[in-house]
Structure 1
Amino acid sequence: MIKIPRRKPLLTSTYLYEYRNAIYRGELVAGRELIIELDKLIREYDNPRYYYDTHDAYLRMEFMEGAIKLTKSPYYGKPMILMLWQKAFIEVIYSYKMSDTGNDRFKKVLLLIARKNTKSETCSGLGLTEGCVGNEGEDIVCSSNDDSQANILYEAIDTMRLMIDPKQKDTWKNQKWIKIKYNGSKIFKLSDRTKNKEGRNIDFAIIDEVHEMKDNVIVKSIEQSQSLKKNPKLILITTEGFVNEGFLDEELKKARRILNDEDDGVSAERYLPWLYTQDSESEVWEGNRENRLWEKSNPTLGMVKQYEYLEEQVDAARKSKADRAFVLSKDFNFKVSNVQAWLEHEKLLQNRVFDLEEFRGKICLGGVDLAETTDMCAAHILLMKPNDKTKYIYSHYWIPQSKLNNSDDKSAGAEYEEWARKGLLTICEDNEVDIASIADWFLDLYKQYEIRLYKCGYDQRFSKEFLNKMDYYGFDCEMVLQNRFVMSSPMKLVETEITNDLINFNDNEITRWCLKNTAMQIWDTGLIMPIKAQGMSNKRIDGAVALIITYEILRRYRSEFMGAL
């Protein structure tokens, strides 16, 4: 066996021990999963299979604190002063060695940490440091699911580099990579969209935002490229996300098996899970500055991430399901499905009605969901009264004759014939809805009640005949695209107003049915849009979509509309 020279420090002098002891004394707050890992690492300190040498770790931390400056406001240009959690994290990655080879123990690292806790800045600094003080000729990669995210790490590294070497005497950058002149190391980007991902020879890789990955293509490509390396490093950094059954879900299963000693294979001992998580959801709603429970998933809270910001986020989450799902995932690392229930059904049990005579001679805003001509179509008008925040919604629906006996619709709660008898629904002859007749409905409202349509929102699909008729009548229409970028804000506004009893939909049974059937799909950006709830493919959401479109028109023309009441 090769005799490896050891530089083992006293356990009590390590940042690992200092970090765990600070948590034990209550100076810092951590969740159960992190504490389990720290305790395991401390127990393994005397395991003869490993030894602990802090030289490589301290060399990197000294460079980070002595040379690197931060790139983000309000800390731009200030020295990188590592927090205790960062020191313990870096120390463990580089200090645990395999006794038989002297190689680093940990090849793969998973850092799960809530947003705005310096994960990208920390790893950008570590990537530049590896290029500058690591082995000669290293290939260092900034990677992510897409080019834009990988570019965040890469540009941060480049900004840090130029602060150290503004005249580029020791480093330079071309279109392919950043080159460290004095040791031949290169830093470059790689994403899932990069061509020719295979055939590379990577030493050190940081993969950001892995929660967005549906599969392990980019990760596997990097792992395979490290197969010849003695001390490869693959660091995965992420918050929780909304991709169901994606790469992160599988990776966290592995990590938690390791934490719970359910996986003791060779690959398990070379994998370091470092998870900042809450112990229960109740800690989110009970947390505050005094009990510091939020620090379990936010280790920089009060130092970098601000309590005031997180208090605002939690307050918004109490009021909105969309905000709740986003905050639980991004600020507290709870796994949340990307499809969530939207509205509290109790709020839809209103029996408030109004008479259109109350609005004779007034103006209104409109919105339609034309869907397919062989399916249900919906139209709403939105009315208001002076000094009254309530939005009064008057609606009508259309279906083709062929839908009347659709057993799937009936089993989903559709009562088309009953609704038609009540005047809520028009049954169109043949197998299609006459889209032009929807324009006639707006005209009839003007003829009967002198209610003038100011603006009407529509989606571009199936709209040609409708638009021609609306133009003929002199009604002004505006396109509202049905995508998350457009629909998110008005959908959140509808939820808020229904929650606060500010929408009176005239006790319309079809509107209520459509709202109950609607779920929301959530993206990592916090954007949402309406979809049918899982298992409800036979339930209609046309009335909900039309209402959201109407609210988007209200958002665009609120001032003009309110001024004309």
Structure 2
Amino acid sequence: MSLVKHPLNNPYEFEGTHSYLLEYISKCKSGDILIGQELMMMLDKLLTHFDDPEIKIDFTDGHKRIKFIETKCKHFEAPFAGKPFLLELFQKAFVEAIYIFKIFDEEINRYVRLYQDILFLVARKNGKTPLISALCLAEFFCGEMGTRILCSSNDYEQADLMFQAINSMREESKTLSNVTRSNIKGIFFGNPKKPKKTGKFSYKNKGQIKKISAKTGAKEGKNIKVGAVDEVHELKDNTSTMPIRQAVSTQDEPLYIELTTEGVINEGYLDERLREARQVLNGELERPRWLIWLYTQDSEQEVWQDEKSWDKSNPGNGVIKKRSFLRKMIEEAKTSKSMRVFVLSKDFNIKQNNASAWLTPEDIKNEETFDIEEFRNGFAIGAVDLSKSGDLADARILLMKPGSQKKYMLTKYFIPASKLEELNREDREMFKEWIRQDLIAVSPGNENDFSLVTAWFVKLFKDYGIRVYKTGYDKWSAIYWSKEMEDYGFDCVRVSQDWGSMSEPMKLVEADLKSNLINYNNHPIDKWCLENTALNINSKMEIMPVKVQGKEDKKIDGAVTMIIAYKVYIDNRTEFLSLVGR
């Protein structure tokens, strides 16, 4: 087909109607708008629909919803709060692509919408949640009577973001709020203050908008027309999406939308969906009812080398999302592994392995040593990772000198004799050498003798006068061990190994290692544990340590105790430094 240009203002028309989709495709083809190859493949497919005799082009539904959003919906968050929701061209093209293509359904004997399953992948802060929220509200009012809509996500908080976006837009419009009501259960038609007895906007309309999370039970049995699932990258499997997809299956024209950025969960739900989506785009899999709208980069290399390429994953660049923000993120990503993982996945939709190495060899390499005599009669922070009683354990102290930010680490490892025999040959020989060097204490039998851990802390005081200010211990530590420590006069504090506790200290350990502010006395087991450690990252950019993928049999206890020690240090920095400075 050809694009017909009007001689005056050059709109792109199809049979006399301006098409935002055709305008968008044309500008993408000409290079005026930069997109990645994956979206271009979808647009090429959409372009063939205009010449397909099996597909009817009808702009009515799409343009009705675009008009509704732009005239009835208002933004509710700064810096656009209170302003009309004026859609960008890429947003109008996306809405149009959902609605304008119709095929004849012989089962119900009429034309219905071609695309009923939508995958919308775009980098964060490009307005995806407000857009889909506005589209859900438009469907609620412009769709048929009794339309039921369900907002879903991995957790209730994220599902509530979309629901609150819908409700806030509803409240911003007197026209919409006058004929609807909302409560903790959802949004409904009918206003008790201005009741209507009949019609679409009365109590007789049983349409509703509700929210649900992956953790909510009893998802089966619902009958909905529109299901919108936000941030599907956080889902581990399809257990929360399949009931929603099944719930819309009874409708003549259902609409199931998945919106997300890329993520870091390995082999999660999104990974499988994107594998299938790319098979569809490459013609390897037939899914004619699936609209696949992916804003992706063509390579990671271009992110670092060509700022213009950022538009491929960020269609709202310069209007919705600030370019200066992306520049700042890129600069931070150059020096921080956690920031790099987060930025590449969330700002550029480049899949990151959340179990790849946390630190580079250059970060870990530090051959500095120190003499414990330098800290005689000083103060320290303690940390232990007793882990499971039948595994490797580690005890550590963190020492500092007055007026210096450098941290000095002294550590001792512990292992049951039986565990040595379970190691592979290479690791077993390595561990035996460390035992000969007195870096590891061996407990007889199948369990660690935690009294040896206590004895190590006591020996530090007896031999060097080192007083441990506070000792952090992990959740696996036995109550009896902490009680034993307290009997000797040690102050033990619990450090939970979760996102909230581990994220900040782990980031500071990384920064200090990169800045050569940690002297771990060139300890070979510390170095080995750091090499085995990966970072896991969540949607809030919080991190915590995990084992590198493929190294599940290796140990990370030394890295964990470093992080625990830093957690205690951060929580007690002022008091500890005052003791160090005495």
The answer to whether TM tops 0.5 is yes
Q: Look up the SS of the partner of 1:254 in the other structure.
A: helix
Distance 1:507 1:217, change over 3 A: closer
Query: How do residues 454-473 of structure 1 correspond to structure 2 at under 5 angstroms?
Result: 454-473=469-488
Between 90-99 and 196-205, the greater mean CA deviation after superposition: 196-205
> What is the one-letter code of the residue matched to 1:486?
S
Tell me the residue number matched to 1:398: 414
Q: Does 1:422 align with 2:427?
A: no
Distance 1:256 1:522, change over 3 A: same
For residues 351 and 216 of structure 1, the distance between their equivalents in structure 2, rounded to whole angstroms, comes to 48
Query: How do residues 536-555 of structure 1 correspond to structure 2 at under 5 angstroms?
Result: 536-555=551-570
Q: Decide whether the 8 Å contact of 2:355 with 2:547 is kept in 1.
A: no
Q: Decide whether the 8 Å contact of 1:48 with 1:99 is kept in 2.
A: no
Q: Decide whether the 8 Å contact of 2:73 with 2:84 is kept in 1.
A: yes
For residues 262 and 409 of structure 1, the distance between their equivalents in structure 2, rounded to whole angstroms, comes to 43
Tell me the residue number matched to 2:385: 369
Q: Does 1:21 align with 2:26?
A: yes
Q: Look up the SS of the partner of 2:111 in the other structure.
A: coil
Between 187-196 and 129-138, the greater mean CA deviation after superposition: 187-196
For residues 11 and 438 of structure 1, the distance between their equivalents in structure 2, rounded to whole angstroms, comes to 82
Residue from 91, 95, 100 that aligns with 1:90 = 95
Residue from 247, 252, 255 that aligns with 2:274 = 252
For residues 240 and 419 of structure 2, the distance between their equivalents in structure 1, rounded to whole angstroms, comes to 47
Q: Look up the SS of the partner of 2:571 in the other structure.
A: helix
Q: CA deviation at 1:118?
A: 0.7
Q: Decide whether the 8 Å contact of 2:386 with 2:393 is kept in 1.
A: yes
Tell me the residue number matched to 1:318: 334
Q: Decide whether the 8 Å contact of 1:211 with 1:238 is kept in 2.
A: yes
Tell me the residue number matched to 1:3: none
For residues 200 and 464 of structure 1, the distance between their equivalents in structure 2, rounded to whole angstroms, comes to 47
Q: CA deviation at 1:139?
A: 1.6
Q: CA deviation at 1:324?
A: 1.7
Residue from 241, 252, 255 that aligns with 1:219 = 241
> What is the one-letter code of the residue matched to 1:274?
W
For residues 236 and 388 of structure 2, the distance between their equivalents in structure 1, rounded to whole angstroms, comes to 31
Q: CA deviation at 1:88?
A: 0.5
For residues 443 and 224 of structure 1, the distance between their equivalents in structure 2, rounded to whole angstroms, comes to 63
> What is the one-letter code of the residue matched to 1:389?
Q
Q: CA deviation at 1:146?
A: 3.2
Q: Decide whether the 8 Å contact of 1:343 with 1:516 is kept in 2.
A: yes
Alpha-carbon displacement from aligned partner over 1:330-368 (angstroms, at most 9, x marks no partner): 111122233221221343333211111222232211111
For residues 417 and 215 of structure 2, the distance between their equivalents in structure 1, rounded to whole angstroms, comes to 48
Query: How do residues 140-539 of structure 1 correspond to structure 2 at under 5 angstroms?
Result: 140-165=149-174, 168-181=177-190, 182-183=199-200, 184=205, 185-263=207-285, 265=286, 268-288=287-307, 292-404=308-420, 406-408=421-423, 410-412=425-427, 415-539=430-554
Distance 1:226 1:471, change over 3 A: closer
Q: Decide whether the 8 Å contact of 1:106 with 1:272 is kept in 2.
A: yes
Distance 1:467 1:216, change over 3 A: closer
For residues 21 and 12 of structure 1, the distance between their equivalents in structure 2, rounded to whole angstroms, comes to 16
Q: CA deviation at 1:87?
A: 0.6
For residues 523 and 16 of structure 2, the distance between their equivalents in structure 1, rounded to whole angstroms, comes to 70
> What is the one-letter code of the residue matched to 1:329?
S
For residues 44 and 528 of structure 2, the distance between their equivalents in structure 1, rounded to whole angstroms, comes to 53
For residues 182 and 398 of structure 2, the distance between their equivalents in structure 1, rounded to whole angstroms, comes to 57
> What is the one-letter code of the residue matched to 1:30?
I
Q: Which structure 1 residue ranges, 5 or more long, are not aligned? A: 1-7
Q: Decide whether the 8 Å contact of 1:339 with 1:520 is kept in 2.
A: yes
Q: CA deviation at 1:99?
A: 5.5
Q: Decide whether the 8 Å contact of 1:9 with 1:54 is kept in 2.
A: no
Tell me the residue number matched to 1:59: 64
> What is the one-letter code of the residue matched to 1:14?
S
For residues 98 and 389 of structure 2, the distance between their equivalents in structure 1, rounded to whole angstroms, comes to 61
Residue identity (%): 42
Alpha-carbon displacement from aligned partner over 1:104-128 (angstroms, at most 9, x marks no partner): 1111111011111111100111111
Q: Decide whether the 8 Å contact of 1:409 with 1:539 is kept in 2.
A: no
For residues 193 and 418 of structure 1, the distance between their equivalents in structure 2, rounded to whole angstroms, comes to 48
For residues 236 and 97 of structure 2, the distance between their equivalents in structure 1, rounded to whole angstroms, comes to 29
Q: Which structure 2 residue ranges, 5 or more long, are not aligned? A: 1-12, 191-198
> What is the one-letter code of the residue matched to 2:210?
F
Q: CA deviation at 1:137?
A: 1.9
Q: Decide whether the 8 Å contact of 2:356 with 2:549 is kept in 1.
A: no
Q: Decide whether the 8 Å contact of 2:119 with 2:291 is kept in 1.
A: yes
Alpha-carbon displacement from aligned partner over 1:494-542 (angstroms, at most 9, x marks no partner): 1222122221110111211222222223333322222233333432222
Q: Decide whether the 8 Å contact of 2:49 with 2:101 is kept in 1.
A: no
Q: Look up the SS of the partner of 1:341 in the other structure.
A: coil
Give TM-score, length-normalised by structure 2: 0.89
Tell me the residue number matched to 1:48: 53
Alpha-carbon displacement from aligned partner over 1:282-332 (angstroms, at most 9, x marks no partner): 1222243xxx21111111111111222222222222222222222221111
